[in-house]
Amino acid sequence: MTTKENIRVALNAIRGQMLRTVLTILIIAFGIMALVGILTSIDALNGSISSSFSSMGSNSFTIRNSGMNIHMGGKSKRAKRHPKITYYQALEFSERYKYPSQVSVSTMADQIGVIKYDNLKSNPNITVMGVDPNYLDVSGYTLASGRNLTGHDLEEGLHVCLLGKELVDKLFVTKSGDINPIDKIVSVGSAKYRVIGTLGEKGSSMGFGGDKVCLIPLTNAKQDYGSAYSTYSITVKLKQVTDLEPATGEATSMMRNVRKDRIGEEDSFEITQSDSLAGMVIESMSTVTLSATIIGIITLLGASIGLMNIMLVSVTERTREIGIRKSLGATRKTIRKQFLTEAIVICQLGGITGIILGVLIGNLISIAVGGAFIIPWDWILLGVSVCFVVGLGAGIYPAIKASNLDPIEALRYE
């Protein structure tokens, strides 16, 4: 029999035991869906994370009083926390640091801010940042309209602000038409601010909402949001990547001097690079990848046992049919090939169903958290290959058992 005929016979056999076969297909589909779905979403998120952090540039680094705490699944990477970097320490560093670069000082004023305009208000998830005029350049933002903050705004403590795209869409895009946000007065917390500019779309990834921001002058953030716990960040953007190592070394020396770290003591601050930070997040997701693989393997193992059981039952139920085929000249090889084909076809049907569901679910998860839609051809090929191996493994024993049946005894079987 040709492969095409074997597949046709396999499909007829599947229709003859539809309930058991459908249940096995669904088990296989669930295993492949878990494997492909989670790996697809991780691939999409990894690309989004890398893109999000690389928009800051691989030629920049940030000085904070602590590193980043990374929590992913059951794995946790807790960073050291040092005494806060004060406003005056940050300003002193920016004034004394002479390496050719752009230096920006910023602070997180509020992470659950609410911005109001007229009778509209945002959700309580807006990041309010106190920044200086260099912040847009060093953090990868662009101006969509209006102007940037200036030194005069900071010196005078003017109540002016820049709004992210999501805020603009929420407060100034109405059914009756778009409103120009420039020069409009909005409420940022309990204070009134005049909008002087809007930011171009930056996107978000893994909870980092790049468009849900309100930027206010650094001096206003200090005055309106400052507390005993306020700490400041310093971002340095260099002209080229090759300057990164000497610039980081000089920044470390300068910051130790500003912080009055003694000789022999460790640094009382952390320096992180945007691309290395992305690498930390992606590395932390390896636990999720491993978990998805284990879930998929366990599920497929259960499916293979179920499939083997179906094939053994099929051999028993079709003993007389096997005897007739052998009496008409079918060889052991032909019978073995037929039953192997049936097992592989069942597995591939389950695999295709699982791959389609996995790709859809994986991309829905990715899009929901700011990732992109992708078609993971490598994981699709892996799913097809795994299903072939599972079908082969589950079908080989029943196929050998069927091919070894004595044709005389098989014809007498009732």
Q: What are the structural domain ranges in the chain? A: 3-50+286-411, 83-268
| β 115-117/185-188 pair status | antiparallel
Residue 287 exposed, middle or buried by CB count within 10 Å (0-12, 13-18, 19+): middle
Rounded to whole angstroms, the Cα distance separating 405 from 336 reads 11
Q: What percent of the chain has pLDDT over 70?
A: 82
Give the bridge partners for 107, in sequence order.
Answer: 130
Q: What pLDDT does residue 203 have?
A: 63
* Dihedral angle computed from the Cα positions of residues 348, 352, 358 and 359, in that order, rounded to the nearest 10 degrees: 140
- Please report which residue ranges of 55-159 form alpha helices under DSSP H: 87-96, 135-139, 151-156
pLDDT at 176 over 70: no
Mean pLDDT, range 52-59, rounded to an integer:
56
Rounded to whole angstroms, the Cα distance separating 411 from 320 reads 5
Cα 98 to Cα 150, 236, 244, 340, 373: the distances in Å are: 21, 11, 14, 73, 44
Pick from 130, 151, 147: nearest CA to 196: 147
pLDDT higher for 239 or 206? 239
Q: Are 108 and 65 in contact (CB under 8 A)?
A: no
Radius of gyration of the chain (CA): 32
Residue-by-residue DSSP string for 262-315? PTTSPPSSEEEEHHHHHHHHHHHTHHHHHHHHHHHHHHHHHHHHHHHHHHHHHH
Least confident window among 124-128, 236-240, 321-325, 410-414: 410-414
Host H or E run for residue 209: strand 208-209
pLDDT, tens only, 179-235 = 899 999 999 988 999 999 999 887 654 445 678 899 999 999 999 888 878 899 999
Host H or E run for residue 1: none
pTM: 0.56
Q: What pLDDT does residue 25 have?
A: 81
Cα 139 to Cα 177, 199, 208, 252, 383: the distances in Å are: 31, 12, 13, 20, 40
Determine the residue type at 162.
Answer: L
pLDDT, tens only, 22-34 = 877 887 888 788 7
Pick from 130, 376, 96, 379: nearest CA to 253: 96
Cα 326 to Cα 12, 224, 311, 315: the distances in Å are: 19, 90, 19, 14
Rounded to whole angstroms, the Cα distance separating 185 from 187 reads 7
Q: What is the DSSP letter of 201?
A: P
